[in-house]
Amino acid sequence: MTDSPLRLYNSLTRRLETFTPIHPGAARVYSCGPTVYNYPHIGNMRAYVFADVLGRALRSKGYELTHVINITDVGHLTDDGDAGEDKLEKAAVGGSARDIARHYTEAYWADFRALNCREPAHWTVATAYVPQMIEFAKRIAEKHCYELPSGLYFDTSTVPDYGRLARAATGEGESRIDPVDGKRNAADFAIWRRTPPGETRQMEWDSPWGRGAPGWHLECSVMSGEVLGFPFDIHTGGIDHREIHHPNEIAQNQAHCGSADPGAAIWMHNNFLVDRTGKMSKSAGEFLRLQTLIDRGYHPLAYRMMCLQAHYRSELEFTWEGLGAALTRLKRMVMGTSKFLSRENYSASFDQGAKPAFRREILNGIDQALSDDLNTPMALTIVERLLLPSSSIEPFERWGVVKELDQIFGLRLFDLVRADLRIRPKSATITETEIEAQLVRRKEARSARDFATSDAIRDELAARGVEVMDGDPLEWEWKLS
Ligand code: AMP
Ligand code: ZN
């Protein structure tokens, strides 16, 4: 696509900045991945839809993308400070931490694919990087760390401007950190957590600081630095990471590189998905999984649409009505697109270069919206205008443009068919063939002006959860509810 300069909001400077790749033509992005002790909730998945859109936008602007997402299978404690237990260790009581991690990693990947997120170039798994973590820690230990009985700690006063990211974000910073006896500064954090004497952990390794496990923050610094090399271009995560996790990564990166460089040029954070009770979180117990939405009959890409409809820096409230509205919007787009596919040779005509000026205009509009800190809500409205039946633009011209745009939105507008987008709860017992047969009978009754039978069929269907939709503008004759 074309060439508005890409402007991204950098949480570190609290400003929109023009993206200037460190290596010309390349974009190297690291996204904090899931902690695999439980299923991801749809809030977590918002973080990956955001990272996916960022990656797609970078590619569309011609950058060669290297994207890394990690899998945290050790080290993330039940508390963001250093007082809690390892989340995986806790979830694996009486079982195997490795099996738990594998199960939830698979579940996360299933959601990731269902949302049509593109595979990153690398999935880095924390437990596969422990030797590198020990090497990293050895390198910074003397100048930046100190030992306590519970492990090796990072002294945050040894790096310039510790917590700049958190303070920039909240005006306070460092507020949620629990004290550990002997810490030099409240914000100091564990690099290596020694296994307490007399205990054994499922996940522990030998190190110069005793047998134990790495700190969570160390993992991301090591995996991003190992795979992408410092400094790299963009680091992403949810806004909860602005407060502790990312400031700590920055401190480690600075210590490792021996400079004030934070390790990544731009730090981007998606805002929360919330529901009426507040931020969706795994530790709160009740949360919505993508599978819950699917079981209720919604296509997963309706949730992707819901995410794209909001700017990634805005809070997004999840409601079932909102999901329904996103589904309807997706349906309209799919139907608009399928009209182009029903005519042959559009693609051939398009490829012969018809009306390049028009094509440029639309693509430039989308490019401008996305270049403005990934303004997906605005970009979607441009696609919609293109799909309007009243649009004076020839269908074959639109075909190629929509095809190109769908590479960025990832809504699979050309693969989905109407039936995919019908709400079909898992609990429904009636089949589509039965419904269709009843509707044929009803049509016949109506043409014979036998309204009693026609109404009876309608009521029978309603009793089995099928709502007949006469005169629906999207031409849906029925839906399951
Ligand atoms: P976790 O598996 O808890 O380490 O989180 C995975 C990703 O989801 C991180 O980038 C978090 O910042 C992000 N995240 C957690 N909760 C939410 C939420 N409610 N809305 C959006 N992103 C979230
Ligand atoms: Zn991380």
Could you write out the DSSP letters of every residue in 444-475?
HHHHTT-HHHHHHHHHHHHHTTEEE-TT-TT-
Report the number of secondary-structure helices (H) and strands (E) in the chain.
16, 16
Does the residue 289 lie in any domain?
no
Q: Does ligand 1 come within 6 angstroms of the Cβ of 236? A: no
User: Which residue's CA is minimally distant from atom 1 of ligand 1?
Assistant: 34
Q: Is the CB of 275 inside a 6 Å radius of any atom of ligand 1?
A: no
Atom of ligand 1 nearest to the CA of 280: 19
Q: Of ligand 1's atoms, which has the minimum distance to the CA of residue 241?
A: 12
- The DSSP code sequence of 233-271 is EEEEEEGGGGTTHHHHHHHHHHHHHTSS--SEEEEEEEP
> Ligand 1: which atom is nearest the Cα of residue 274?
19
pLDDT surpassing 60 at residue 171 = no
pLDDT digits 0-9 by tens, 3-45: 789 999 999 999 999 999 999 999 999 999 999 988 999 999 9
Among 29, 44, 52, 165, residue to substitute to test ligand 1 (most atoms within 8 Å of Cβ): 44
**Residues 338, 341, 343, 349, CA torsion sign:** positive
The answer to whether residues 107 and 219 belong to one domain is: yes
Question: Do both 320 and 373 map to the same domain?
Answer: yes
Same domain, 379 and 321: yes
Residue whose Cα lies nearest atom 2 of ligand 1: it is: 34
Within a domain: 290: no
Residue reference for tokens 């398009």: 350
**Cβ neighbours of 292 (radius 10 Å):** 13
Same domain, yes or no: 169 and 239: yes
229, 96: one domain: yes
Tell me, in angstroms, the distance from the centre of ligand 1 to residue 358's CA.
Answer: 40
Q: Which of 240, 256, 284 lies at the terminal end of a domain, its last residue? A: 284
Query: What is the count of structural domains for the chain?
Result: 3
29 and 144 co-located in one domain: yes
DSSP string, 373-411: T--HHHHHHHHHHHH-TT--S-HHHHHHHHHHHHHHH--
Q: Tell me, yes or no, whether 253 and 220 share the same domain.
A: yes
- Quick check: is 1 in a domain? no
CATH of the domain at 74: 3.40.50.620
Answer whether 44 contacts ligand 1 (Cβ < 6 A). yes
Percent residues over pLDDT 90 in the chain: 59
Alpha-carbon span 134 to 222, nearest angstrom: 9
Closest ligand (CA of 68): 2
Does ligand 1 lie within 6 Å of residue 279's CB atom?
yes
Same domain as 390, residue 337: yes
Spatial separation of the C-alpha atoms in residues 466 and 461, rounded to whole Å:
5
Q: Going by CA atoms, what residue is nearest to atom 23 of ligand 1?
A: 44
Question: What is the C-alpha separation between 110 and 105, in angstroms, rounded?
Answer: 9
Q: Is residue 154 helix, strand or coil? A: strand
Q: Are residues 224 and 140 in the same domain?
A: yes
Give the tokens for residue 302.
Answer: 């309706």
Question: How many angstroms separate the CA atoms of 224 and 60, rounded?
Answer: 23
Compute, in angstroms, the gap from residue 254 CA to the centroid of ligand 1. Answer: 25
As a whole number of angstroms, the distance between CA 438 and CA 332 comes to: 26
pLDDT band at 293 (very low <50, low <70, confident <90, very high): very high
- Together in a domain, 360 and 387: yes
**CA 280 – ligand 1 centroid, Å:** 9
Is pLDDT of 176 > 60?
no
pLDDT recorded at residue 147: 96
Tell me how far apart the alpha carbons of residues 464 and 427 are, in angstroms, rounded to a whole number: 11
Residue 35, ligand 1, Cβ within 6 A = yes
360: in domain: yes
Tens-place pLDDT, residues 322-374: 999 999 999 999 988 887 665 544 555 555 555 567 777 888 999 999 999 99
- Examine residue 231 and say whether the peptide bond preceding it is cis (omega within 30 degrees of 0): yes
Q: Is the CB of 241 under 6 A from ligand 1?
A: yes
* Nearest CA-CA partner of 44 in 132, 121, 105, 128: 105
Average pLDDT over the chain, rounded to an integer: 88
**Tens digits of per-residue pLDDT, 389-409?**
766 677 777 777 888 889 999
**CB 391 within 8 Å of CB 362:** no
472 within domain boundaries: yes
**Boundary-marking domain end, from 257, 284, 311:** 284
What's the domain range around 469?
Answer: 428-480
**223 domain-assigned:** yes
The 10s digit of each residue's pLDDT in 46-63 is 999 999 999 999 999 999
**What percent of the chain clears pLDDT 70, i.e. is strictly above it?**
88
Q: Which residue, judged by its Cα, is nearest atom 9 of ligand 1? A: 238
Q: Indicate if ligand 1 lies below 6 Å from the C-beta of 313.
A: no
Buried/exposed code over 169-195 (b: 16+ C-beta within 10 A; e: otherwise)? beeebbeebeebeebeeebbbbbbbbb
395 vs 284, more confident:
395
* Residue of the CA atom closest to atom 14 of ligand 1: 44
173 band by pLDDT with thresholds 50, 70 and 90: very low
- Rounded to 5 degrees, what are φ and ψ at 257? -85, -10
The ligand 1 atom nearest the CA atom of 273: 20
Separation of alpha carbons 189 and 372, rounded Å: 36
The reply to whether 199 and 86 lie within a common domain is: yes
Give every strand in the sheet of 64-71, ordered side by side.
122-125, 64-71, 26-31, 232-238, 264-270
| Residue 248 and residue 314 in one domain | no
Determine if ligand 1 sits within 6 Å of the CB of residue 107. Answer: no
379 within domain boundaries:
yes
pTM: 0.89
- Picking from 419, 441, 465, the residue at the C-terminal end of a domain is 419
In a domain, 434, yes or no: yes
Q: Which atom of ligand 1 is nearest to the CA of 34?
A: 2
- Any residues with CB less than 8 A from the CB of 106 and at least 6 apart, and which? none
Residue nearest atom 12 in ligand 1 by C-alpha distance: 238
